[in-house]
Amino acid sequence: MSDVHDTMLLGSEGIKKTILYGGTGDIPKLTTGAKVTFHFRTQLCDDDRTVIDDSKVVGTPMEIVIGNMFKLDIWETLLASMRIGEVAEFWCDIIHTGIYPLVSKSMRRIAEGKDPVDWHIHTCGMANMFAYHSLGYDDLDELMKEPKPLYFILELIRVHHPSEYNRETWAMSDQERLKAVPVLHGQGNKLYKQGQYQEATQKYKEAIICLKNVQTKEKAWEVPWLKLEKMANTLTFNYCQCLLRMEEYYEVIEHTSDIINQHPGAVKAFYLRGKAHMEVWNEAEARQDFSRVLDLDPGMKKAVKKELGVLNMRMEEKNQEDKNKYKGMF
């Protein structure tokens, strides 16, 4: 263990650094586009040093690309002061930690194998983020209500310079992202037609993440933002079509409900949600969604009539099955 010492990070207010384990070599230059891999643990500044997040528990280190608008930009500052292999503890004041709960939520969803897309759909611009009632995790809601200073314990594993790795979508510039969207969309459609639904969802998801990344830099509900929102919603509908084929009905209900909350006139969202409700025997909800579709777009009459026919047949079958099942019980 190297000597423990406190240093203020040069030129940064509200940060104290303690090196817990010295790294090797010179401090790497973190140029724009460099990919940094590191472990992190986030703790409260209470007597128990309560752990909020720990990448080692999740089992995978964190990766960020420098200059890529990662929401918690303070981490770039902290990492820029470290050597490879170094473990350091940073105390960061509230000015740097206010946004942490939002970042933590998206990281947790990714770790749980859920789609970070959902939280993007909920959050249109900073104003809405803070108005949004719950992040779905009690400890993060607590922190959101009352931001606190936090300890970040970081371990710098490696730094790849831009030329040393393939540019994945999250490492692209906004221009490159927008160019990638129609390509990914097309690949997704092709895979869908071939019945490769799992692979298609990956393409759609990547395209949505590209759009949402660009969208976070636009002003919520203004024309450029709305254009991107419309494109992202179209892709989300394609994504949901795949999920229907994969029988992931509850996830379809979740995604379409998110869109309906933001855009109450989204016909396609009601239609897909109605189909998903039908599959999980939510008869009343399905009928309600299909009737909304007809209110919003009478041109969908034929499609809705077909779905309601299927629903009626299903419900009859289910009632008959239930009757037979209970007949033997009495």
Check whether residue 137 and residue 206 sit in a common domain: no
Same-domain check for residues 141 and 25? yes
Query: Final residue of a domain: which of 164, 199, 218?
Result: 164
Res 115 pLDDT > 60: no
Q: Domain total for the chain?
A: 2
Virtual CA dihedral for 15, 20, 24, 28, nearest 10 degrees? -20
Residue 326 belongs to some domain of the structure:
no
Q: What is the mean pLDDT of the chain?
A: 85
Do residue 24 and residue 143 come from a single domain? yes
Q: Which residues contact 18 (CB under 8 A, 6 or more apart)?
A: 4, 5, 6, 88, 89, 90, 91
- The per-residue pLDDT for range 181-194, each reduced to its tens digit, is 888 898 899 999 99
Q: Which residues contact 238 (CB under 8 A, 6 or more apart)?
A: 185, 188, 189, 192, 200, 204
Kindly list the distances between the CA atom of residue 325 and the CA atoms of 31, 280, 318, 320, in Å, as whole numbers in the listed order: 67, 19, 10, 9
**Reported confidence tier of residue 118, pLDDT bands at 50, 70, 90:** very low
Amino acid at 213: N
pLDDT at 5: 44
Judge whether 13 lies within some domain. Answer: yes
Residue 263's pLDDT is: 92
CA distance 73 to 40: 14
pLDDT score recorded for residue 11: 57
Judge if 147 and 186 occupy the same domain. Answer: no
pLDDT at 131: 45
The continuous run of DSSP H or E covering 6 comes out as strand 6-8
> Which carries the bigger pLDDT value, residue 253 or residue 163?
253
Residue 206 belongs to some domain of the structure? yes
> Do 135 and 278 share a domain, yes or no?
no
CB atoms within 10 A of CB 271: 23
Percent of residues, the chain, with pLDDT higher than 70? 85
CATH of the domain at 95: 3.10.50.40
- Is the C-alpha dihedral spanning 202, 207, 210, 214 positive or negative? negative
| 220, 127 Cβ separation under 8 angstroms | yes
Q: Is residue 303 part of a domain?
A: no
The pLDDT tens digits of the residues spanning 270-293 come to: 999 999 999 998 999 999 999 999
Residue 327: is its pLDDT beyond 90?
Answer: no
pLDDT tens sequence across 52-70:
999 998 888 888 878 765 6
Which CATH number covers residue 263? Answer: 1.25.40.10
- Structural domain including 198 reads 176-293
Tell me: pLDDT of 249 over 90: yes
Q: What is the pLDDT of residues 95-108, one digit of tens each?
A: 889 889 988 988 88
- Beta strand 6-8 pairing with 150-160: unpaired
DSSP-derived 3-state class of residue 308 = helix
**Three-state DSSP string of 226-240:** HHHHHHHHHHHHHHH
